[in-house]
């Protein structure tokens, strides 16, 4: 039997299909507020708390002490939120092929499933509703039972914690909610540098990088990880051998 008790999955780009839609929403909001930022720069911050992305962009552009700094951050962020929410409401969301099989394997092994995301709670809820994954979650976004009926056991968004990725707060909150005391019984899967860094900071047992999401191997290889996978179902073999 695997020593893994909790499997944590990033949402967009790892569990939910992301064909650079989130990056495009960022670039649209940035363009609308008259600031130049490269797509490479945005991609390097994928997985972060979304407000932190705009704080970083404007800090580098005009400085945190500029009198219009906070107004510019808020303006860009609100434009982004409107674009992102509208995208998922109209386009919807789909899991990557094989994700549901991975979830089913985890349930069979009595491994709890938590989703973490750099999205704030409103967008997280929209995506969960589009997928039909919110049905077994209570008001605390928790489903403590581990049966064949539930899809996930816990949902954690960046707005649920004080510090988003690359801090370990979301992983630690998932552990707390699901009564997992030992981080060495936790495995984490994500597709961004901040996913890998947050796993390192949380001292998880095993950290896996997704190469089917928003980042290539060349963009992730410098960050701490134990293994890369090219499809979700490869996660099953990893757990079997841990």
Q: What is the pLDDT along the chain (242 residues), one digit of tens a residue?
A: 568 999 999 999 999 998 888 888 888 888 888 888 888 888 888 888 889 999 999 999 999 999 999 999 999 999 999 999 999 999 999 999 999 999 999 999 999 999 999 999 999 999 999 999 998 899 999 986 666 667 999 999 999 999 999 999 999 999 999 999 999 999 999 999 999 999 999 999 999 999 998 899 999 999 999 999 999 999 999 999 98
- Burial (Cβ within 10 Å: 0-12, 13-18, ≥19) of residue 108: exposed
pLDDT at 22: 85
126 and 85 in one domain?
no
Helix axes 50-62, 69-91, angle to 10 degrees: 140
Rounded Cα–Cα distance for residues 158 and 96 (Å):
22
Task: Decide which of 91, 117, 147 is a domain's last residue.
Answer: 91
What the block records as the tokens of 31 is 């363009």
Structural domain total, the chain? 2
- Burial (Cβ within 10 Å: 0-12, 13-18, ≥19) of residue 61: middle
* DSSP bridge partners of 115: 9, 155
In a domain, 1, yes or no: no
Cis amide linkage into residue 166, ω under 30° from 0: yes
Write the CATH number for 61.
1.10.150
Please give the model's pTM, rounded to 2 decimal places.
0.88
180 and 66 in one domain?
no
195 alpha-carbon distance from chain centroid: 7
Name the region of 183 (left: φ>0; alpha: ψ -120 to 50; beta: rest).
alpha
220 and 105 in one domain?
yes
Give the strand pairing for 112-117 and 6-10.
parallel
100 and 75 in one domain?
no
pLDDT at 102: 97
Residue the block writes with tokens 């394997």: 105
pLDDT at 149: 67
pLDDT at 23: 85
Q: Specify whether the CB–CB gap between 206 and 188 falls below 8 A.
A: yes
């Amino acid at each position: 039997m695997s020593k893994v008790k909790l499997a944590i999955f990033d949402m967009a780009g790892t569990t939910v299909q992301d064909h650079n839609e989130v990056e495009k929403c960022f670039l649209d909001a940035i363009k609308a507020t008259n600031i130049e930022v490269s797509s490479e720069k945005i991609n390097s911050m994928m997985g972060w708390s979304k407000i932190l992305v705009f704080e970083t962009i404007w800090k580098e552009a005009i400085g945190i002490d500029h009198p219009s700094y906070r107004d510019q951050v808020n303006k860009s962020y609100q434009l982004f939120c409107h674009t992102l929410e509208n995208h998922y409401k109209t386009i919807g969301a789909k899991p990557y092929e094989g994700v549901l099989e991975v979830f089913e394997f985890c349930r069979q092994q009595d491994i709890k499933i938590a989703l973490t995301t750099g999205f704030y709670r409103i967008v997280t809820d929209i995506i969960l509703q589009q997928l039909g994954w919110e049905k077994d979650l209570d008001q605390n976004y928790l489903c403590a039972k581990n049966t064949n009926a539930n899809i996930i056991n816990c949902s954690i968004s960046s707005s649920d914690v004080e510090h988003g990725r690359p801090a370990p707060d979301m992983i630690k909150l998932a552990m707390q909610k699901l009564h997992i005391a030992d981080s060495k019984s936790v495995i984490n899967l994500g597709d961004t540098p901040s996913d890998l860094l947050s796993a390192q900071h949380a001292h998880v047992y095993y950290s896996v990088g997704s190469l089917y999401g928003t980042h290539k191997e060349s963009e992730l290889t410098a960050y701490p990880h134990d293994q890369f996978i090219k499809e979700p179902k490869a996660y099953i073999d990893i757990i079997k051998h841990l």
